[in-house]
C-alpha cells in the first residue's frame, strides 16, 4: 500500500474520503452561493434572534476567529434552518451540491471549521467544546431564534452528535451520515492488536493519533458515551459498501465495528431511524445524494410540524 492510500484510509475512518473520491467531490461541488465573499466582524452573542439572511459566502468573526460561512435559500414560516457539518479534511465546498439541492425547500448553511477551507487556523489544541462554540456562533448568526437541523458527515456527524444533546434549545433535528464512531479509539485498538505490523499497524497508529488531535484542526475527539438529545427526529445513515478491502485480516472486523457504531448513535434520540445505503461508500451524500436529501427533508418536515405546534411530541 502506498503512502497516500495509507493516509486516506486513516482519514476515512476518522472522517474523510478514501482513495480518490475527494477529488471528485471538490470538482463537482463549487460554491454554495454565488455572491462575492465579504468579511463581517461581529460578536455572535449579539445576533441571537436576528438571523442574517445573506446568500452566498461570508466571513464572520466568531470567538476572535474569521469563519467562512455559506448559505442558500430563504427562511420561511416555521421551517428550520439546516446546518451542514462536513467531515475532517473537507471545507464547505464539499457539501455545496447537497446544499444547493436542499435550499429549494429550506434555508441551508454550511461553514468551514477552524483549520478547514477558508476559515482561520486554530491557535492551539481544540476540544469538542471549542469547536462547539464556533458552531454556536455560526448558528446564532445564520439562524437567530429559528430551530436548527444539524446534518453531519463522518467527523461532522460525531461533532453534531456531541453538540445536539448540549443544545436542545436550538437543535431540533439531526441527520448523521456515516458518523465517526463515538468510541473510535477503542474500536480501532480492539480490532487491530498492538503487535500488528505493516499497513495495519500504520492504520492503528494513524487513527489513534488523529483522534487525539494530531490533525489539521488540532481537534481532539476522545471516546465517550452517546448522550440523549430527547425526542428530536433523527436519521442515521450508514454506508453499505466495504471500503477496507485492502486490509483482509482486520478490515471485516473494523467494518462490523463501524456498523455497530451507527446503531450506537441511534440511541441519541427516542425518535431515531437507521437507514442503510447499500450501494454507497463513506460519502453517502455523494454516492446516494437522493437518500441524504430525503432524510434531511423528512427530519426538517417533522421539525416544521413541531415548531408550528402540530407534532404530538412537541416539548417532550
What confidence score (pLDDT) does residue 9 get? 54
Dihedral class, residue 240 (left if φ above 0, else alpha if ψ from -120 to 50, else beta): alpha
Predicted confidence (pLDDT) at residue 26 exceeds the cutoff of 90 = no
What confidence score (pLDDT) does residue 56 get? 97
Three cell numbers written together for 74: 430563504
| Band (10; pLDDT cuts 50, 70, 90) | low
The DSSP-derived string for 82-149 is EEEEPPTT--GGGGHHHHHHHTTTSEEEEEPPTTSTTSPPPSS-B-HHHHHHHHHHHHHHHHTTS-EE
What confidence score (pLDDT) does residue 285 get? 98
What confidence score (pLDDT) does residue 309 get? 73
* Between 38 and 86, residue with greater pLDDT: 86
What confidence score (pLDDT) does residue 252 get? 92
Predicted confidence (pLDDT) at residue 11 exceeds the cutoff of 70 = no
What confidence score (pLDDT) does residue 43 get? 40
Among candidate residues 24, 36, 146, the one with its CA nearest the CA of residue 97: 24
Write the pLDDT tens digit of every residue in 195-236: 999 999 999 999 999 999 999 999 999 999 999 999 999 999
Helix-helix angle 3-14:198-211, to 10 degrees: 40
Write the pLDDT tens digit of every residue in 109-160: 999 999 999 999 999 999 999 999 999 999 999 999 999 999 999 999 999 9
What confidence score (pLDDT) does residue 313 get? 44
Predicted confidence (pLDDT) at residue 40 exceeds the cutoff of 70 = no
Q: Which class for 66: exposed (0-12), middle (13-18), buried (19 or more C-beta within 10 A)?
A: middle
Among candidate residues 188, 202, 205, the one with its CA nearest the CA of residue 250: 188
| Residue found by looking up cell 460554491 in the block | 31
Among candidate residues 309, 300, 270, the one with its CA nearest the CA of residue 172: 300
Rounded Cα–Cα distance for residues 92 and 76 (Å): 23
Q: Which class for 212: exposed (0-12), middle (13-18), buried (19 or more C-beta within 10 A)?
A: middle
Predicted confidence (pLDDT) at residue 315 exceeds the cutoff of 50 = no
| Band (295; pLDDT cuts 50, 70, 90) | very high
Write the pLDDT tens digit of every residue in 92-104: 999 999 999 999 9
Rounded Cα–Cα distance for residues 87 and 116 (Å): 10
Three cell numbers written together for 250: 482486520
Backbone phi, psi, residue 28, to 5°: -85, -20
Q: What is the largest CA-CA distance in the chain?
A: 58
| Band (242; pLDDT cuts 50, 70, 90) | confident
| Band (29; pLDDT cuts 50, 70, 90) | very low
Non-local CB neighbours of 301 within 8 Å, separated by 6+ positions: none
The enclosing H or E element of 173 equals: strand 171-177
What confidence score (pLDDT) does residue 32 get? 36
Cα of 230 vs its chain's centroid, Å: 20
| Band (13; pLDDT cuts 50, 70, 90) | low
Q: How much is the mean pLDDT over the chain? A: 86
- CB 105, CB 300: distance < 8 Å: yes
Q: Tell me what the mean pLDDT of segment 70-92 comes to.
A: 95
What confidence score (pLDDT) does residue 308 get? 82
Rounded Cα–Cα distance for residues 45 and 55 (Å): 21
Three cell numbers written together for 267: 440511541
The DSSP-derived string for 8-35 is HHHHHHHTS--TTHHHHHHHHH--S--S
Amino acid at each position: 500500500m502506498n503512502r497516500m492510500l495509507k493516509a486516506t484510509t486513516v482519514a476515512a475512518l476518522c472522517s474523510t474520503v478514501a482513495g480518490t473520491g475527494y477529488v471528485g467531490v471538490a470538482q463537482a461541488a463549487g460554491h454554495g452561493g454565488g455572491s462575492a465573499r465579504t468579511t463581517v466582524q461581529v460578536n455572535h452573542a449579539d445576533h441571537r434572534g436576528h438571523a442574517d439572511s445573506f446568500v452566498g459566502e461570508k466571513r464572520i468573526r466568531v470567538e476572535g476567529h474569521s469563519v467562512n460561512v455559506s448559505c442558500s435559500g430563504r427562511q420561511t414560516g416555521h421551517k428550520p434552518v439546516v446546518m451542514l457539518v462536513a467531515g475532517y479534511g473537507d471545507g464547505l465546498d464539499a457539501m455545496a451540491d447537497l446544499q444547493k439541492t436542499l435550499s429549494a425547500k429550506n434555508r441551508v448553511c454550511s461553514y468551514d471549521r477552524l483549520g478547514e477551507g477558508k476559515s482561520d487556523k486554530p491557535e492551539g489544541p481544540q476540544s469538542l467544546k471549542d469547536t462547539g462554540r464556533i458552531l454556536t456562533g455560526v448558528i446564532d448568526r445564520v439562524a437567530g431564534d429559528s430551530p436548527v437541523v444539524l446534518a453531519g458527515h463522518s467527523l461532522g456527524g460525531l461533532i453534531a452528535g456531541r453538540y445536539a444533546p448540549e443544545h436542545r434549545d436550538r437543535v431540533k433535528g439531526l441527520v448523521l451520515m456515516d458518523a465517526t464512531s463515538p468510541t473510535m479509539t477503542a474500536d480501532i485498538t480492539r480490532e487491530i492488536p498492538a503487535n500488528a505490523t505493516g499497513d495495519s499497524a500504520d492504520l492503528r497508529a494513524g487513527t489513534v493519533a488523529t483522534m487525539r488531535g494530531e490533525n489539521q484542526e488540532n481537534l481532539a475527539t476522545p471516546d465517550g458515551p452517546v448522550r440523549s438529545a430527547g425526542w428530536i427526529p433523527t436519521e442515521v445513515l450508514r454506508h453499505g459498501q466495504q471500503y477496507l478491502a485492502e486490509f483482509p485480516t482486520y478490515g471485516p472486523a473494523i467494518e462490523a465495528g463501524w456498523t455497530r457504531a451507527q446503531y450506537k448513535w441511534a440511541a441519541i434520540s427516542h425518535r431515531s431511524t437507521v437507514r442503510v445505503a447499500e450501494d454507497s461508500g463513506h460519502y453517502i451524500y455523494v454516492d446516494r445524494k437522493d437518500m441524504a436529501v430525503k432524510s434531511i427533508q423528512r427530519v426538517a418536515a417533522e421539525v416544521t410540524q413541531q415548531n408550528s405546534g402540530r407534532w404530538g411530541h412537541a416539548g417532550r
